[in-house]
RNA sequence: GCCCCAGUGGCGAAAUGGUAGACGCGGCAGACUCAAAAUCUGUUGCCUUCGCGGGCGUGCUGGUUCGAGUCCGGCCUGGGGCACCA
């Protein structure tokens, strides 16, 4: 065997079979050792795995295998986020049933994942589209409903009037339906929601406890929840509204700027705006135009600000006789605050843009520090910071915070129609979670509508509510709704004919508790087995894409609380540790005909520092484009199966761990893969060649200098790699292993020295043993092959992580850089435990320091122990 | 538009506020070879110098510090999210 190249095509399936047959990675719920739950975000079964999956699952697998080696009882499961739109699109476009499409994709992708050699417990696999999974989700929905956490309200959707269907935001392109091309309308539907806002304060406060989450994710969630302390103010209308309204309630976080108010604005969906629109054709037309923009906030806020002057006027609460015009404006969201604001253009950019467009007054009332009140003006940039009030009557001279309180106090004390005019209020940006989807391929919402009894939950005994198999997808609209029989059902309360809810759940619901189901997926009676769930949870390390930083993670945090409230789990926070990985990106290529071409179809030539590309089939030159996220549309994808077939899973795994820090994007390159594969072969060669030299290894006495150096390298590497893996710094761990392999290689390259020195041979045995154990979490197949070559029994997958000998990690002397005025000018080697005075004296005696000081005493000498010395001349 | 993040050699990158460029890729030179592949060794930020050495250098710009890739302010560029893609 030695001397031959390592053949992954032969070895990888062999070891995968041995692991599977031995159930090496099956996890028992009765294991007494300390638990470690590592989880990667489960995939949507789109058809094939992509490089992003390879990266994600490799990282998780390294952690899982490493923790196993550290003696933990590791839970490392896998499943499928299997409901969703693409299956329904496939049904429409390819005439294949969503279930068939989904399960076939799962089968194929499971095979791909297995070829990666992941240490997964496949016995716990779940698919969210399977009734064995979603029946429990339906049970929890009913529990949430009974606990007041699920309710119905009216919400807006994007409506395609031609396809008669609700469109996802991504299906609305430039205001038109992606399939029909019809202008999209907003439509109001009564829909199911989860009351996530019941936990706003808690979801916010609890972020502080998630100390193993990235700060950026916590910050994003904090901003998303968007707690703000402000004032609700009821303004008096100068003349009553169309249905007798006398006041307009607004929410503001800046009551201090009230004297700078120059207009009032409300959402096109505000009840008053709607009432006005019924009598004002021009306003109705404006509202219609707003409704055609769709429901996406990003679209609303990037659209040019437009408004319509209703002609109504609103009294300024503090300026006698002053009234403000009331506008309907497209950038005011009905979902935030009260759906109406007062506009203060000088101190809010959106208000300023609006005021400039319509020629409204701009009165600055907050003077930034250092500005001159006489000459201060606002141009096209609003001044939104703190300052001192001016142009503001009784507020003049106050700071912004004091002015806030003064206005709040006065308005709270003032009466308008029998109630205080102002009220301090905490407002959250977070909205309740709309879970209704008017689609087939999702978890049916287990409710029944009865004309007499109202909305009644499906009794537990009748769960699950199964999706009908015989749905049709060639008609516009919701297949569940137009199914001939499915929705007709007897009311569980009174027995009279009633109708099933035909909405299904948002797929984010499915992914909000799968990690809990993994703890006991065999429980047919209940979503969870409390004791088991409580033992495994929280997930110790969750790994997935940064694109899930807000929604999926926030919904899961809510869902866990809701499950706790309904008795299904005993904890609040599901993910103790979170890591967000970067994307896999690749160069793009355009062929001779100007179309995108696949990397598989081209050849790159390196010439004189430059790179050019041409078609493999000789049809012409290829233009190398920018590096972008791998996508089908740009054809810059690399199929993991091709890589695994050509190079082996270990090469692919090593590559995605190498070079790029895991939280940053990684660029897939052919050259990088070749480099990774070279290392696979190099480890194999080292183990084979090294083993051949160490037959005479013995425990014999004194260690030679060479033996000590190798032993030190071994233990320093173990310490460093361990530290790196604990911090998920896989690229650093890889670099340390390269370095270590180089050190081992230098020893193996001197066979005579090894043969003559039993201590060195012993150190080499130890080094190779450690190398294989350290490489095992990353390249498990290669490691097993090497383990056998080393003559070890059993599997390296079952072997413990090597132990660090602390004495070999610490050196006796250290070399300190010596700076003069912050620039490195010399080095100084001192004993590790040298005192500060000793170091200082030695530094001042250095020739370079003497020369720089030129006989004068130093102004300052900074000695940072074991780090650096800086002499200030 | 709003929120968040990133930017360092030819390339991917490393660096608890303390020697910028570890490690890898690529390049160059050499060894082995009839030759090539594979492998191994050396070298490789830029400018300057025969050399020793010196100067410059972490997107731009200003600041804090004995010392800034790292901290703070203002920009530029690229990316993620914005509630029905997952």
Please state the three-class secondary structure of A35-63 as a single string. EEEEEECCCCCCCCCCHHHHHHHHHHHHH
Q: Which of A323, A312, A289, A307 is nearest to A242 (CA)?
A: A312
C1’ B77 / CA A275, Å: 47
| Beta-bridge mates of residue A423 | A232
List the A676 CA – B10 C1' distance (angstroms).
20
- Whether the CB-CB separation of A704 and A712 falls below 8 Å is answered with no
- C1' of B39 to CA of A684 (Å): 13
Q: Which residues in range 294-313 of chain A are in contact with strand B, contact meaning CB within 7 A of any of its atoms? A: 295-298, 301-302
Residues 6+ apart with CB under 8 A from A102: A45, A80, A82, A87, A127, A129, A441
Cβ neighbors of A321 (< 8 A, separation 6 or more) are none
Q: Which of residues 809-868 of A touch strand B (CB under 7 A)?
A: 815, 817, 819, 821-825, 827, 860, 862, 864, 867-868
CA of A681 to C1' of B36 (A): 21
What is the rounded distance in angstroms from the CA atom of residue A448 to the CA atom of residue A446?
7
Residue A423 near residue A412 (C-beta atoms within 8 A) = yes
d(C-alpha A112, C-alpha A455), whole Å = 45
A337 sits within 7 Å of strand B by its CB: no
Chain B: positions less than 7 Å from a protein CB are: 1-6, 10-16, 18-20, 22-27, 38-41, 54-55, 66-68, 79-86
Nearest-CA neighbor of A619 among A599, A601, A643?
A601
**Alpha carbon distances (Å) from A109 to A46, A104, A116, A694:** 9, 9, 11, 43
Give the CA radius of gyration of chain A: 34
Cβ pair A60, A99 in contact under 8 A: no
Tracing tokens 């009598």 back to the chain, one arrives at A279
Q: What is the pLDDT of residue A322?
A: 95
What whole-number distance in Å separates Cα of residue A342 and Cα of residue A830? 69
Q: Please tell me the predicted confidence (pLDDT) of residue A617.
A: 79
Query: C-alpha angle A865/A866/A867, rounded to 5°?
Result: 90
Q: Hey, what are A490's tokens? A: 């007897």
The two most distant CA atoms of chain A are separated, in Å, by: 105
Q: Which helix (H) or strand (E) holds A101?
A: helix A98-115
Helices A8-21 and A640-647 meet at what angle, rounded to 10?
Answer: 110
Q: Any bridge partners for residue A444, and if so which?
A: A504
Per-10-residue mean pLDDT of chain A, 873 residues long, equals 77 97 97 97 93 93 98 98 94 93 97 97 98 98 98 93 90 89 91 97 95 93 94 94 92 94 95 94 94 87 91 95 95 92 92 92 88 83 86 93 94 93 95 96 97 96 95 89 94 96 97 98 97 97 92 97 98 96 77 76 61 75 71 76 92 91 83 89 94 74 86 95 95 95 92 88 94 97 96 96 93 86 84 86 86 82 88 85
Counting beta carbons within 10 angstroms of the beta carbon of residue A147, is it exposed (0 to 12), middle (13 to 18) or buried (19 or more)?
Answer: middle
Q: Which helix (H) or strand (E) holds A690?
A: helix A670-693
If one counts every other C-beta atom within 10 angstroms of the C-beta of residue A715, the result is 22
Q: What is the pLDDT of residue A608?
A: 46
User: In this structure, are residues A373 and A396 in contact, taking their beta carbons and an 8 Å threshold?
Assistant: no
Q: Tell me the pTM.
A: 0.93
- At A291 the three-state DSSP class reads helix
pLDDT at A609: 44
Helix (H) or strand (E) holding A646: helix A640-647
Nearest nucleotide to A430 (CA to C1') is B83
Give the model's pLDDT for residue A867. Answer: 87
Closest to A74 (Cα-Cα) out of A798, A731, A740, A608: A798
Annotate A180-226 with three-state secondary structure: CCCECEEEEEEEEEECHHHHHHHHHHHHHHCCECCHHHHHHHHHHHC
CA-wise closest residue to A740 among A760, A769, A702: A769
Query: Helix, strand, coil % (nearest 5) of chain A?
Result: 40, 20, 40
Beta-bridged to residue A869, according to DSSP, are A818, A863
What is the CA A373 to C1' B73 distance in angstroms? Answer: 24
Q: How far, in Å, is the CA of A10 from the C1' of nucleotide B59?
A: 48
3-state class (DSSP) for residue A417: coil
How is A656-687 classified by DSSP, letter by letter? Answer: HHSSS-TTS-EE--HHHHHHHHHHHHHHHHHH
The whole-angstrom separation of Cα A419 and Cα A413 is 9
What span, in angstroms and rounded, lies between the C-alpha atoms of A330 and A383?
Answer: 22
Helix H segments across A244-383? 271-277, 281-291, 297-302, 349-358
What 3-state class would DSSP assign to A77? coil
Task: Let me know: does A721 contact A737? Beta carbons within 8 Å.
Answer: yes
CA–CA gap between residue A35 and residue A27 (Å, rounded): 10
Q: Is the CB of A525 under 7 A from strand B?
A: no
Residues in chain A: 873
Residues 125-154 of A with CB under 7 A from strand B: none
Query: With contact defined as beta carbons under 8 Å apart, do A2 and A789 qualify?
Result: yes
Give A534 CA → B76 C1' in Å: 50
Record the tokens describing residue A165, joined without a space: 């269907």
ipTM of this predicted structure: 0.94
Report the candidate in A537, A487, A780 with the shortest Cα–Cα distance to residue A652.
Answer: A780
Q: How far apart are CA A507 and CA A843, in angstroms?
A: 66
CA dist., res. A748 & res. A687, Å (int) = 9
Peptide bond before A386: cis, by omega within 30 degrees of 0?
Answer: no
Residues 6+ apart with CB under 8 A from A107: none
Q: Which pLDDT value is given to residue A606? A: 56
What is the sign of the dihedral through the CA atoms of A368, A371, A376 and A377? negative
C1’ B27 / CA A738, Å: 21
What pLDDT is stored for residue A577 in this prediction?
Answer: 96
């Amino acid at each position: 065997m030695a001397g031959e190249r390592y053949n992954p095509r032969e070895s990888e399936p062999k070891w995968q079979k041995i692991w599977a047959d031995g159930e090496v990675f099956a996890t028992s719920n009765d294991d007494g050792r300390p638990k470690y739950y590592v989880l990667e975000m489960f995939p949507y079964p789109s058809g094939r795995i992509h490089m992003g999956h390879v990266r994600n699952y490799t990282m998780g697998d390294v952690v899982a295998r490493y923790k196993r080696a550290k003696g933990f009882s590791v839970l490392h499961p896998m499943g499928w986020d299997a409901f969703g739109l693409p299956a329904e699109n496939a049904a429409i476009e390819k005439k294949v049933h969503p279930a068939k499409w989904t399960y076939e994709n799962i089968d194929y992708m499971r095979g791909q994942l297995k070829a990666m050699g992941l240490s997964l417990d496949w016995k716990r696999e779940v698919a969210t589209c399977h009734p064995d999974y979603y029946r429990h989700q339906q049970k929890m929905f009913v529990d949430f409903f009974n606990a007041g956490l699920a309710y119905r309200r009216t919400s807006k959707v994007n409506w395609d009037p031609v396809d008669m269907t609700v469109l996802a935001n991504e299906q609305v392109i430039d205001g038109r339906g992606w399939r029909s091309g019809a202008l999209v309308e907003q439509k109001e539907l009564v829909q199911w929601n989860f009351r996530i806002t019941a936990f706003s304060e808690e979801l916010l406060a609890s972020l502080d406890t998630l100390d193993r989450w990235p700060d950026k994710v916590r910050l994003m969630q904090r901003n998303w929840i968007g707690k703000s302390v402000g004032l609700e103010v009821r303004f008096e209308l100068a003349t009553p509204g169309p249905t007798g309204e006398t006041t307009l309630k607004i929410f503001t976080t800046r009551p201090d700027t009230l004297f700078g108010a120059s207009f009032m604005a409300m959402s096109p969906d505000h009840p008053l705006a709607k009432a006005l629109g019924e009598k004002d054709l021009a306003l109705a037309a404006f509202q219609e135009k707003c409704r055609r923009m769709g429901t996406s906030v990003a679209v609303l806020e990037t659209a040019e600000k437009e408004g319509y002057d209703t002609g109504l006027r609103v009294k300024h609460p503090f300026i006698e006789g002053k009234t403000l015009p009331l506008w309907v404006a497209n950038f005011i969201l009905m979902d935030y605050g009260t759906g109406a604001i007062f506009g203060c253009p000088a101190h809010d950019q959106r208000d300023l843009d609006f005021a400039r467009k319509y020629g409204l007054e701009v009165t600055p009332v907050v003077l930034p520090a250092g500005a001159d009140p006489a000459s201060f003006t606002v141009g096209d940039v609003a001044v939104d910071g703190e300052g001192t009030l001016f142009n503001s009557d009784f507020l003049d001279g106050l700071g912004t915070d004091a002015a806030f309180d003064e206005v709040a106090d006065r308005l709270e004390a003032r009466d308008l129609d029998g109630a205080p005019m102002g009220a301090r209020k905490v407002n959250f940006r977070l909205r309740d979670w709309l879970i209704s989807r008017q689609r087939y391929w999702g978890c049916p919402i287990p409710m029944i509508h009865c004309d007499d009894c109202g909305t009644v939950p499906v009794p537990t005994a009748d769960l699950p509510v199964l999706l009908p198999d015989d749905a049709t997808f060639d008609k516009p609209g919701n297949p569940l709704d137009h199914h001939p029989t499915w929705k007709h059902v007897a009311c569980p309360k009174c027995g009279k004919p009633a109708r099933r809810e035909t909405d299904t759940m948002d797929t984010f619901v499915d992914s909000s508790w799968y990690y809990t189901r993994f703890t006991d997926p065999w429980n047919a009676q209940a979503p969870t087995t409390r004791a088991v769930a409580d033992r495994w949870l929280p997930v110790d390390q969750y790994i997935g894409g940064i694109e899930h930083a807000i929604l999926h993670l926030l919904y899961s945090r809510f869902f866990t609380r809701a499950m706790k409230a309904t008795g299904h789990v005993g904890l609040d926070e599901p993910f103790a540790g979170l890591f967000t990985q970067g994307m896999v990106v690749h160069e793009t290529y355009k062929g001779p005909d100007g179309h995108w071409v696949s990397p598989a179809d081209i050849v790159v030539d390196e010439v004189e520092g430059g790179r050019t590309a041409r078609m493999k089939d000789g049809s012409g030159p290829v233009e190398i484009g920018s590096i972008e996220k791998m996508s089908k549309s740009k054809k810059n994808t690399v199929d993991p199966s091709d890589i695994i077939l050509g190079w082996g899973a270990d090469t692919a795994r090593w590559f995605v761990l190498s070079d790029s820090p895991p939280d940053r994007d990684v660029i897939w390159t052919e050259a990088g893969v070749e480099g990774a594969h070279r290392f696979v072969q190099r480890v194999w060669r080292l183990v084979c060649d090294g083993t051949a030299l160490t037959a005479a290894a013995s425990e014999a006495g004194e260690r030679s200098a060479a033996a000590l150096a190798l032993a030190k390298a071994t233990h320093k590497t173990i310490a460093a790699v361990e530290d790196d893996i604990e911090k998920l710094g896989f690229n650093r761990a890889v670099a340390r292993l390269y370095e270590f392999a180089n050190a081992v290689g230098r020893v193996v390259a001197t066979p005579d020295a090894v043969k003559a020195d039993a201590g060195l041979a012993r150190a080499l045995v130890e080094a190779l043993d450690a190398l294989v154990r350290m490489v095992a979490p990353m390249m498990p197949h290669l490691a097993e092959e090497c383990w056998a070559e080393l003559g070890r029994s059993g599997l390296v997958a079952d072997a413990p992580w090597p132990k660090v000998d602390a004495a070999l990690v610490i050196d006796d002397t250290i070399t300190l850089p010596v700076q003069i005025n912050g620039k490195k000018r010399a080095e100084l080697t001192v004993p590790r435990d040298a005192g500060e005075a000793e170091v200082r004296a030695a530094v001042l005696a250095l020739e370079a320091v003497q020369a720089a000081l030129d006989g004068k005493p130093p102004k300052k000498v900074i000695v940072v122990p074991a780090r650096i010395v800086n002499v200030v001349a």
